[in-house]
Amino acid sequence: MMHQVLQPAGWARPKGYANGVAARGQQIYVAGQIGWDGAGRFAEGGFAGQVRQALANILAVLAEAGAGPEHLVRLTWYVTSRAEYLGELSAVGLAYRETIGKHFPAMAVVEVSGLMESQAKVEIEATAVLPDPVG
């Protein structure tokens, strides 16, 4: 098993995230990724488009370590507008599932007054764990 989802007995199951994750192996820390591509061009499609690009950026960094979305154990989202996040939640969910799949690590979403790049609507940082080699 790569990781163990931590779900206290009697707690309602969260939707779209895990309450906690236990993992053992090589730790990978991904800096906050925003919704621009490798050339610094922001994605089209508003908030959800930036989410999709930020998640794709995370996967690109993980791939450099031989990891994929299944190795994610934590995501922290910084959004500039709670209202925009909630207003596009369906499109954000679709972007997440199409990028990450049905893997739901521990997550937090925090509203912030702004990000360093003025056009950025979301920044997502990630932690992943590659399991120790067998043998």
Q: Which residues of the chain have pLDDT under 70?
A: 1, 135
CB 105 within 8 A of CB 6: no
So what's the pLDDT on residue 21? 94
Nearest-angstrom CA–CA distance, 7 and 50: 30
Cα–Cα separations (whole angstroms), residue 104 to 11, 111, 126: 17, 20, 12
User: All domains of the chain, ordered by start, with CATH?
Assistant: 27-131 (3.30.1330.40)
Q: What is the pLDDT of residue 3?
A: 84
Whether residue 76 contacts residue 110, with contact meaning beta carbons closer than 8 Å, is answered with yes
Q: What predicted TM-score, i.e. pTM, was given to this entire model?
A: 0.94
pLDDT at 1: 53
